[in-house]
Amino acid sequence: SLGLYEVWAVGRYGVSNSRRFVVDSLAVFNDPGNNNTIAQASPLTLPTAVQGKCDTAVIDHYKLDLKEGDSISIECFAKSIDSRLTPVLAVVDAKGKELASIRGHELKDPVLQFTASKSDSYY
């Protein structure tokens, strides 16, 4: 069943701390780790879930080809799975101009809503 789950391990020395994870029905894209510039942006096909590791002070870039009027929602599961990550989500154009952004905080995961103003590639 889809949702957010917790798991514990029980062994000879007792019960572990719990760990949370997400189960969804989306195709999974594994972040290659070499997409740190717009020129290296990993192309995504929607809908998809991105799975990867966040490195300190490193920006991962993804490319979305959208048509005028297409609306997307980008969500980063961090706090809900007990991560210490404070994510920043942004949509930029090919020149790096920020078109929309949101920053997470210690209590809530960020969700960024964006509607394409023209048919183009967005990052």
For residue range 53-100, what is the model confidence (pLDDT) as tens digits?
888 888 999 999 999 999 999 999 988 898 888 899 999 999 999 999
Phi-psi region of 4 (alpha: psi -120 to 50; beta: other; left: phi over 0): beta
Is residue 91 exposed (0-12), middle (13-18) or buried (19+ Cβ within 10 Å)?
A: buried
Q: What are the tens digits of pLDDT across the range 2-46?
A: 899 999 999 999 999 999 989 999 999 999 989 999 999 999 999
Please tell me the pTM assigned to this model.
0.85
